[in-house]
Copies of this chain bind each other. A is one copy, B any other.
């Protein structure tokens, strides 16, 4: 059996997460039992929600146990199978965690899914045609539920969720304004993803400046907002919302590493009769088939061109993850191992 390098959560962060929270170990993969499949991971998915799992505190993502393989989505290839529905060579998406191989009990529903890589590259099943894409789909369709012609905004617009949100919203005839960090990301958001505009938050570092930029790009106000970041950007968005605006609250990455970030003026939620809803997409599995079908078409037709930041080798996962928390990635952050 092959040697399997793994990243464990060794200890919990005090404030900011650091490399010292993780530990690299090597083990042997065990012999398969009936019903099991050995998957060699090609890519690990790195996602902001993982930061919440590192804490002991109550979080929407269950707590990551100490001393165990760091959990997360994976895509790979079946290299050995003792299950009739999986054959060596099958490409699969699963939840194998930060390791090079995983042994999967394939009888458990939802643990492993075969995917077709003829039109969609394997890695995209961790991004645009995976959990992040469905996250964008759910927030857009089930919470914001916009009408054609309305104006929508999204933070972290160049990321895996934001980019999918933009493509889906454009397909519904909305004006979509992204918010991202730096000119390269903003150019990608408008030129490759087809957003109507993108605001560089590095040029608008306080609520007043961001609010003015939003006013310029959203002359008819904001009807719906998809939030990945929180903090002063959300405060500025609230100042530009129209009556009955809806906010899908998906992430607040700006506050993940330290003290909670306040919302400056929640009375705006009342003044503008806003509906705000927090959600986690894994609690809405019923929408996944419909969402994945649409996302697969958008990627297959080239209307959604996901960008990826790829770190090499399992040992690079912690550093790449810390970079993701600081917005150093460009598009979906992955770790490539094959």
Interface residues of A (CB under 8 A from B): 52, 58-60, 230, 234, 249-252, 255, 260-267, 269-280, 283
Contact = CB atoms under 8 A, between A and B. Distances in A.
A244 to B, nearest CB: 9
Interface centre among A251, A261, A262 (most CB of B within 10 A): A262
B265 A262 contact: yes
A266 B279 contact: no
A276 B269 contact: yes
Nearest to A251: B270
Interface centre among A60, A265, A278 (most CB of B within 10 A): A278
B264 A249 contact: no
B275 A276 contact: yes
A271 B60 contact: yes
Given A262-B266, A269-B276, A274-B278, 20 more contacts: A60-B271, A230-B266, A234-B266, A252-B267, A260-B264, A260-B267, A262-B262, A262-B263, A262-B264, A262-B265, A263-B263, A269-B278, A271-B278, A272-B278, A273-B277, A273-B278, A273-B279, A275-B275, A275-B278, A276-B277
Interface centre among A252, A266, A269, A279 (most CB of B within 10 A): A266
Nearest to A264: B262
A252 B60 CA distance: 27
Contacts of A262: 262-266
A260 B266 CA distance: 8
Contacts of A276: 269, 275-277
Contacts of A261: 266-267
B277 A275 contact: yes
A267 B255 contact: yes
A272 B249 CA distance: 11
Nearest to A60: B271
A273 B249 CA distance: 8
A273 B280 contact: yes
Contacts of A271: 52, 58-60, 278
Given A60-B273, A271-B60, A273-B60, A266 B280 contact: no
Contacts of A275: 275-278
B278 A270 contact: yes
Contacts of A266: 230, 234, 249, 252, 260-263, 266
